[in-house]
Amino acid sequence: MSDRKTALITGAGRNIGRAVALALAGDGFNVVINGSSDRAAAESVAAEAKALGVQALVAMGDVGDPAACGRIAAAALGEFGAVDVLVNNAALRPAKPFLETTAEDWRRVMSVDLEAAIWLSQACLPGMLERGWGRIVNFTGMNAIHGYAGRAPVSVSKHGLWGLTKSLGKEFGPKGITVNAISPGPIAADDEDDNPSEYRQKMVARVPVGRMGQPREVAAAVRLLVSADGGFINGQMLQVNGGTET
C-alpha cells in the first residue's frame, strides 16, 4: 500500500494514454497502466513511470468486456487499496458506411467507447465515496460534438459518454468527486513522422493554430482536472483542439 493517490488509465500503452500516465506519474500519482493486447508497450510505460519515483502496475484487459473491467479494477484496488483518479481513454474509431454497419459493429464500439466507462466508474466510485474525493476524466473527442459520416457508432457512443459525464458530475459532485470530459482535436501519434499523409495534411488545414496537437498537451488538461486547483471544474467538456470547429 502507498500514501500516494492512484490513477487508473485505460488504453495507456501509447499516444494520449501514455502521455497521461507519465504526466500523472510525474505529479506523484501511482499509476495503473491498462492495455488490451500489447503488454510490452504497457510494461514500457510502467517502467518509465517507476523511473519517476512512483509505483506502477500493468493491468491488461479488454475494457469492452464488463468482466475484464472488474478484473482491472480489482487488480488496481488489490495493489494500491484505492483508485482516486479514473481516466477512461481507451476507444475504437472504426470507419464504415452506416448501411453496412452490423449489430456486432455497434455492440463492439459501444462496449469500448461508452460502456467501459460505466463499468469502471461503478467499480471505482465506492472507494472514492468512502474517501470523499475522486476524479473521473472521460475522453469524448470531437465525435461527441460533431456527427461524422461513416462513424455513426463512434459518434453515438461519444455523445453518450458526454451525457454520462454530465449526469455523474451532478450526482457525485456533492460528494467531493468531479467528473469531466476532454475532447481532443487532431493529435499526433507517438510514431508520427515528419511526412504526414494527405489525410493528416487535411486535418492540419482545419486547425487554426496550424499544427497537430501533441499528446502531452492533452495530458496537461488531465493534470488540471485531477489537481486540487481543478476541483471547481465539474460536468464540463474541455476541448483541446487548437480551435478546430468542424
Rounded to two decimals, the pTM is 0.95
Q: Is the pLDDT of residue 194 over 80?
A: no
Q: How far apart are CA 203 and CA 39, in angstroms?
A: 31
223, three cell numbers: 493534470
Radius of gyration of the chain from its Cα atoms, rounded to whole angstroms: 17
Q: Using CB atoms within 10 Å of the CB of residue 58, give its burial: 0 to 12 exposed, 13 to 18 middle, 19+ buried.
A: buried
Helices (H), strands (E): how many in the chain? Answer: 8, 7
Question: What one-letter code names the amino acid at 15?
Answer: N
Q: How far apart are CA 105 and CA 107, in angstroms?
A: 6
Q: What is the pLDDT of residues 83-137, one digit of tens each?
A: 999 999 999 999 999 999 999 999 999 999 999 999 999 999 999 999 999 999 9
Q: How far apart are CA 76 and CA 92, in angstroms?
A: 23
Band the pLDDT of 57: cuts 50, 70, 90: very high
Fold for the domain defined by 6-240: Rossmann fold (3.40.50)
215, three cell numbers: 499528446
Q: How far apart are CA 119 and CA 102, in angstroms?
A: 24
The conformation of residue 177, written as its DSSP 8-state character, comes to E
For the sheet with 177-184, list strands across it.
56-58, 30-33, 6-9, 85-88, 134-139, 177-184, 237-240
Domain extent listing, the chain? 6-240
Averaged pLDDT for residues 43-62: 98
Q: Using CB atoms within 10 Å of the CB of residue 104, give its burial: 0 to 12 exposed, 13 to 18 middle, 19+ buried.
A: exposed
Q: What is the pLDDT of residues 198-234, one digit of tens each?
A: 877 888 888 999 999 999 999 999 999 999 999 999 9
Q: How far apart are CA 82 and CA 128, in angstroms?
A: 8
Q: What is the pLDDT of residues 122-179, one digit of tens each?
A: 999 999 999 999 999 999 988 778 888 899 999 999 999 999 999 999 999 999 999 9
